[in-house]
Amino acid sequence: MTRLGFSCNTSDYISKTLDTGFASAKNLLHFVEANIGSDALTSLFRDLKMNQSSMRSICILDGDQMSDLKHHIIALPGGSPPDRMFSIFLRELMTGEAHNAFWHEVQAFGYSKLTASDVLKDFDSIAEKIAEEKSAGRSTHGLQRILSKAHFKEHRAFYDLVRKAWLVNEGSQAAIRKFRNELFAAFKKTAAFHSIDARIWPQLTTEAAA
């Protein structure tokens, strides 16, 4: 399984809240740290001979990619790469009174809307830096990922709180359930190859999965 973005935190939420049966299966998953583009990963997992021999794995791509369960490919919830998704959600948190509870909670950690504004300015500067490089005729290949990774590392403590808020946000639940169901299906398809009893992760009841 290729881990990209915030998939481990999403899996923690699934095992603790959405599907407690996932906890046993999660301990059997081996997460591979790999810096491979989505196109290359998709090609690998769709290659017939590779898939039949050594690629009995689950590929998790960013949310802006398409799932392909036939080839064990699933996309993270959210519909966008994690950096874009959480920046959009952070902007949402800053509007209206519906999210006052979040700001009350993060205040205890020394954060405020002013913090969020500074974080978003830093995130927006990534696009500006990339535009500058393009204007100068320099290659920008991989620059978005490099700068985004540095941005999230610098503001990790704050983004941890934003991510937790996204995971319990009502508007996120349908996407998270879809991710859980696709991961469940991929696990069932690949478990036997690794001599894992697929029953260790039981099927949710129809009512719970709805």
Residue range 118-136, pLDDT digits in tens: 999 999 999 999 999 999 9
Give the pLDDT band of residue 42 (cuts 50, 70, 90). Answer: confident
Question: How far apart are the C-alpha atoms of 74 and 69, rounded to whole Å?
Answer: 7
Q: Per residue in 151-205, pLDDT tens? A: 999 999 999 999 999 988 999 999 988 988 998 898 888 888 888 888 888 876 5
Share of the chain above pLDDT 90, in %: 39
Question: pTM to 2 decimals?
Answer: 0.78
**Element (H or E) spanning 43, and its range?**
helix 38-46
What's the mean pLDDT in 4-25?
A: 60
Q: What is the domain partition of the chain in residue ranges?
A: 7-79+172-209, 82-171
**Element (H or E) spanning 73, and its range?**
strand 73-75
Residue 64's Cβ-count burial label (10 Å; 0-12, 13-18, 19+) is middle
Name the average pLDDT for the chain.
Answer: 83
